[in-house]
Chain A
Amino acid sequence: MKLLGLLAGCALMAGAASNDTFLIRDADVYPVTGPVMQGVSVLVQDGKIADIGAKLTPPKGIRIVEAKGLRVYPGMIDSATELGLQEIESVRETEDTGEIGQFMPQLRALAAVNPASEHFPVVRVNGITSVMTFPSSGSAGAGGGGGGRFGGGERQFISGQAALIHTDGWTWDDMAVKPFAALHLIFPSMPRAGRGGGASGNPDTAPAAVAGGAAGGVAQAKQAYQAQIDSINQFFDDARVYQKAKAANLPGFRTDLKFEAMIPVLDGKVPVAITASRASAIHDAVQFAGKQNVKIVILEPRDLKQAAAELKEKNIPVILGRVLALPENEDDAYDSAHTLAAEAYKAGVKFALGTFGNEFVRNLPYEAAAAVAFGLPYDEALKAITINPAQIWGVADQVGSVEKGKWADLIVTNGDPLEVQTQISHLYMKGKEVELNNRQIELYHKYLNRP
């Protein structure tokens, strides 16, 4: 009896404490996956969207959030960050990306996420509810020139497991949406003509190689490049041998953490997110994927014009880097980075946006808006930071749109979330209201009211 009472008490407490059941009333709902629904209510039960409609009969006593004149959107998703792994860019002690080692598939970004990082409250007040956090950001412009910024400076190929996480939680366990959302591979790239060879970074020999046409330097660089790709293939081949040995339970089989981590990738359950910027690197990455029969996503492609046809044909999605970025070459059109998203759309390549860093994750919606300025249809821009990333990272059944059955990752706004001036009035993650506060807002009030 005593036990029963205790249990009942617990249940009551849980009921009282569970704030993930409520009704948003009379809002304009922008589901992203369908047309706008004006003046409807959203019923959230146990953290999930239970119903959306004009005439819902909510359970008695349910908490009501009045939202007349306000809009409901899905929370936004940034497809490339280092959130939780990097606090202050210039302080090595606060940086946990870019481990030492060339092939490190066993490294888990998730387990190094600091849930108390000040970055999380900063990004979520701007409506970003989920992010991909990478064990190494790779290096963008260079087409994958090196691993993390630290990590001993060694050339990395596989930097580890990227995680899709919520931007709120007491622990990284709480935050995990998909602990192993992608394996991060930084693809090698051919050095550019005239710019220090890949094999020999010797500035004295490289120009000579160019002057001499297809002479030693270039051939050498090609060889080194091919050797790097071979080593990646070798690693995948070895992992497959391991997988077979394990399946066959061969005598003397011993667990190998690296190869163990490769199994879901080889099974096609987890995609390989490949940093590849230039057309040749993208092409070779696609070839590599075909040969290894693995699913891939291309990170931060720049030469989309040349690569688009192949990406579309193979149905390979891409994560575009910052829209507001400089052109790669001096003689590129001044808006060449701004128009990449529109190009991807026109070519039929599936894409999502990433900010590739931490400092400007909160500007993700404005990056999407800038893509609209330079030719991307508005609806596609919104998809690029909501449903598209959810689909690309395999969680579209849980997040990315306002639909029945999904987690209530929602923002309530007074306008278009891609417009800078729009204010967010409520934010929910798994149906739990998250306070729209952070240290910056506290400092604002503190010093605005300084006597």
Chain B
Amino acid sequence: MRIAIAALLALAPLGAQTIAIQNATILTVTHGTIKGSILVRDGKIAEVGDKVLVPSGATVIDATGQYVIPGMVDAHTHIAADGGVNEGSISDSSMVDIRDVLNPEDIALYRALAGGETTIHILHGSANAVGGQCVTIKTRWGKDAHGLIFQGAPPGIKFALGENPKRSGNPTGRTATGAAPAARYPATRMGVEDTIRQAFTDAKAYQAEWNEYRAKVARGENAIPPRKDLRLEPLVEVLQGTRIVSCHGYRADELLMMLHVAKDFGFKIDLFVHGLEGYKIADEIAAQGAGVSTFSDWWIYKVEAADAIPYNAAILAKKGIVVSLNSDDAELMRHINIEAAKIMKYGRLSENDALAMVTLNPAKQLRVDKWVGSIDAGKDADLAIYDKYPLSASAKVLKVLIDGTVYFDRDKALADNLKAQQDRQKLIEKEKQNQTRQQPARRPTV
């Protein structure tokens, strides 16, 4: 028996090793900044503090002069979703699921990891008023699609307001056949509200049918189950509170509309994404306990972003709203720490409040904060190690751990890339030689 256990232990995965990160400046997010060590065991943070006893046999990472922050969390991304993120043919597409198109080989995953992001929410696009289902993953580069998924994280769904969902109602140009494309309802913000209300009205009725059926079964009566509806199932989960609600929106009027819809149907908006005019209705958002995941300083790229201000996050935070900063972009997600620093500039938030916007706050919005988002004993050992003070544009990530495993090491990454470039060059040379050899003999000209 004992031997069997020993054998099992020996087979334990890489993540189960014990790692000690020593002599670091640690920004914990939940209990200030510590100069000390982090002990990682079995993929979890075992201990954090200035006096941590390092067990013999632990792998030591000497982080003298370096900084450790929690692996960053991004509540709004569109990477690693193979074949596009918009099921744009219909305005109500809650049946489609990003989980079905996860592409673990998207290089953007690796690049996000190299920028210190360890947990990301992959959203459906914003073409439809009722968009598809979304998934929370960890950036475990090298794992298969299943291995990326953040086990235990609730699934999500996305709604969209404003210019994007109404765009197909105002088509421009010509289709491939030369015909003008057909307009798709809705074409206005009014129609967007109607589309969402109709979807939830259907979902309520559907939920009632099932409730009635289950009650009958419970009473021992004979009953025919209702027909399963894949479009309405996720909306019922929203009504039950088991699915994360993201809602894309810019202008204050449309955000307010969605707050009314949520109130009327009795669900919570976990996060408005963009929410660029959220600052105009901060009180209303706060009253309903909704979160906002916004940009630091994106603005004016479209009409509904004209009133976007870099103080949005600060105003919302000052009104007690859980605010996160998101990327929505494969490039921005490589340095989302800089976005946090900007909130220290615009609105003068504290270092901790700013850092929380890319760690603990998005973790709360995605309901994964019991596992990630801060450096606390018992949480997943998802950590980013920087060479300098991380709330700065002149710092870079040196190492990233997920579940206690080093998934990114800058020195190794650069060495590997150099080797790959050399190998590539060799293959090109070889191919050139092959081509020379295979070239057909010139036909005699005479």
Of B68-76, B118-126, B389-397, the one touching chain A: B389-397
A447, B414: Cβ atoms under 8 Å?
no
Q: Which residue of B lies closest to A336 (CB)?
A: B417
Q: Which residue of A lies closest to B339 (CB)?
A: A420
| Cross-chain contact of B344 among A325, A420, A440, A441 (Cβ < 8 A) | A420
Contact A373 to B395, CB < 8 A, known contacts A334-B413, A440-B311: yes
Q: Does A52 contact B (CB under 8 A)?
A: no
Q: Which residue of A lies closest to B347 (CB)?
A: A444
Q: Which residue of B lies closest to A326 (CB)?
A: B331
Compute how far the CA of A133 lies from the CA of B418 in the bound complex, rounded to whole angstroms.
38
Contact A443 to B307, CB < 8 A, known contacts A88-B301, A421-B341: yes
| Cross-chain contact of B315 among A213, A374, A447 (Cβ < 8 A) | A447
Q: Which residue of A lies closest to B278 (CB)?
A: A447
- With a cutoff of 8 Å between Cβ atoms, the chain A residues found around residue B388 in the complex are 373
Q: How many A-B residue pairs have CB under 8 A?
A: 121
Q: Does B197 contact A (CB under 8 A)?
A: no
Q: Mark A413-425, 1 if CB is under 8 A from B, else 0.
A: 0000011111100
A421, B302: Cβ atoms under 8 Å?
no
Q: Does B280 contact A (CB under 8 A)?
A: yes
Interface positions, chain A 432-450, Cβ under 8 Å from B, are 440-441, 443-444, 447-448, 450
Of A74-82, A175-183, A364-372, the one touching chain B: A364-372
Compute how far the CA of A90 lies from the CA of B167 in the bound complex, rounded to whole angstroms.
13
A331, B302: Cβ atoms under 8 Å?
no
- With a cutoff of 8 Å between Cβ atoms, the chain A residues found around residue B341 in the complex are 420-421
What size tier do the contact residues of chain A reach?
Answer: 35 or more
- With a cutoff of 8 Å between Cβ atoms, the chain B residues found around residue A204 in the complex are none
A114 to chain B, nearest CB (A): 14
Q: Does A363 contact B (CB under 8 A)?
A: yes
Compute how far the CA of A366 lies from the CA of B283 in the bound complex, rounded to whole angstroms.
33
| Cross-chain contact of A331 among B301, B391, B421 (Cβ < 8 A) | B421
B397 to chain A, nearest CB (A): 10
Interface positions, chain A 23-69, Cβ under 8 Å from B, are none
Q: Does B371 contact A (CB under 8 A)?
A: no
Compute how far the CA of A362 lies from the CA of B299 in the bound complex, rounded to whole angstroms.
11
Q: Does B297 contact A (CB under 8 A)?
A: yes
B298, A359: Cβ atoms under 8 Å?
yes
Q: Does A99 contact B (CB under 8 A)?
A: no
Compute how far the CA of A234 lies from the CA of B252 in the bound complex, rounded to whole angstroms.
55
A243 to chain B, nearest CB (A): 42
A333, B414: Cβ atoms under 8 Å?
yes
Contact A330 to B395, CB < 8 A, known contacts A88-B301, A213-B435, A440-B309: no
- With a cutoff of 8 Å between Cβ atoms, the chain B residues found around residue A118 in the complex are 300
Q: Does B183 contact A (CB under 8 A)?
A: no
- With a cutoff of 8 Å between Cβ atoms, the chain B residues found around residue A173 in the complex are none
Q: Does B114 contact A (CB under 8 A)?
A: yes
Apart from A331-B421, A334-B334, A444-B311, 5 more pairs, CB < 8 Å: A88-B303, A421-B344, A423-B345, A443-B311, A447-B279
**Residues of B in contact with A (beta carbons under 8 Å apart):** 107, 110-111, 114, 279-280, 282-283, 297-303, 306-307, 309-311, 314-315, 318, 330-331, 334-335, 338, 341-342, 344-345, 347, 387-388, 391-396, 413-414, 417-418, 420-421, 424, 435
Instruction: Pull 29 A–B residue pairs with CB atoms less than 8 Å apart, ordered by A.
Output: A89-B300, A89-B301, A118-B300, A119-B300, A122-B299, A326-B334, A331-B421, A331-B424, A333-B417, A334-B110, A334-B413, A335-B396, A358-B300, A359-B298, A359-B299, A360-B297, A370-B394, A373-B393, A374-B396, A418-B394, A419-B394, A420-B338, A420-B391, A421-B392, A440-B309, A440-B310, A444-B279, A447-B279, A447-B280
**Residues of A in contact with B (beta carbons under 8 Å apart):** 87-91, 118-119, 122, 213, 324-327, 330-335, 338, 358-360, 362-363, 366-367, 369-370, 372-374, 418-423, 440-441, 443-444, 447-448, 450
Nearest 8 CB-CB pairings of A with B: A369-B393, A444-B311, A420-B341, A366-B393, A440-B309, A369-B394, A90-B302, A373-B396
